[in-house]
Amino acid sequence: MINYVLVLLALLIIGVSLIIRAGRTESKNLDEAYEYLNKFREYGNSIFKGKENYEAYEWLTMRGPKMQAKVGELGIARGFIPPYSNIQYNTYQIIVNALPTLRDEARDPMRGYNSLQNNIVQNYLTMIDDVLLRYIGRLENRLEDFKAQLKNPFIWLREGVQFFVQIPILLLYWSGLIKYATYYRFTNNIIIKFINFIIIVVGLISSIITIVTGYNPFMEIFNEYLGDLK
């Protein structure tokens, strides 16, 4: 019986530790997103003031690919046609592509005399700003979810069990044999989730029975039941 209790406690501890770790990661991502958003707005304001902040642009450009990867699908426009253009992009990465376009439009010496260019600049500013706001909103929602999960021991157990079930997939990801997108798809597969559910249910029932009746009495009852079936 003690072994069952220890295993259950270990799973609970691992589960809550994973939730805390994930929450800290998302909190860090949120801080970085707000930092990027504030720097981007600083750059946008400098454009409209007619004094482009070159240092802000360089800062945004150096961190652009990383932020683009983090926002994921939120930062991709499908079937995008740039303003006043006949070219269509199947997958347009907004941050890494709109930022240099925004720079070129802002530095055009004719922009002050062309209201259409001002509209283009505003459109690209709005596009990037909206992507960052959506990403921040998603992060804040996740943090709220993590806070709720910390109050639910059943979720701790689920996360603990899921960790051990997904170890083979984690090893493939950590070794670089599969990419994060593949790892995410596998771990969110309905079959993997069903296996987690079965293990959790069986584990809970076994733990409760063992704690209430004890291991040996339970096995005696179980064997008697099997004898009756024969």
Amino acid letter for position 141: N
Residue 143 DSSP one-character state: H
Q: What is the pLDDT of residue 147?
A: 92
Taking only the tens place, the pLDDT of each residue in 127-155 is 999 999 999 999 999 999 999 999 888 88
> Which runs of E-coded beta strand occur in the chain?
76-80, 89-93
Secondary structure (3-state) at 134: helix
Q: What is the pLDDT of residue 77?
A: 92
Which residues lie closer than 8 Å to 147 by C-beta, 6 or more apart?
23
Examine the pLDDT at 202 and tell me if it is beyond 70.
no
Q: What is the pLDDT of residue 52?
A: 85
Q: What is the mean pLDDT of residues 150-172?
A: 81
Spell out the domain ranges in the chain.
2-165
Residue 106 near residue 123 (C-beta atoms within 8 A): no
Q: What is the pLDDT of residue 113?
A: 43
Backbone angles phi, psi at 91, to 5 degrees: -130, 105
Residue 46 near residue 73 (C-beta atoms within 8 A): no
Compute the Cα dihedral for 139, 140, 143, 149 and give only its sign: negative
Residue 177 DSSP one-character state: S
Taking the C-alpha atoms of residue 58 and residue 42, their distance in angstroms, rounded to an integer, is 13
Query: ∠34-39-40 over CA atoms, to 5°?
Result: 95
Q: What is the pLDDT of residue 130?
A: 96
Give the least confident one: 74-78, 133-137, 159-163, 169-173.
Answer: 169-173
The mean predicted confidence, pLDDT, of the chain is 80
Taking only the tens place, the pLDDT of each residue in 87-132 is 888 999 999 999 998 888 777 765 554 555 677 888 889 999 999 9
């209430």: which residue's tokens?
Answer: 212
pLDDT above 70 covers a percentage of the chain that reads 75
Q: What is the pLDDT of residue 56?
A: 94
Residue 178 DSSP one-character state: S
The reported pTM is: 0.73
Structure tokens at 72: 């994921």
Give the least confident one: 20-34, 44-58, 91-105, 168-182.
Answer: 168-182
Which residues lie closer than 8 Å to 16 by C-beta, 6 or more apart?
150, 156, 159
Q: What is the pLDDT of residue 184?
A: 67
CA atoms within 13 A on the CB side of 120: 22
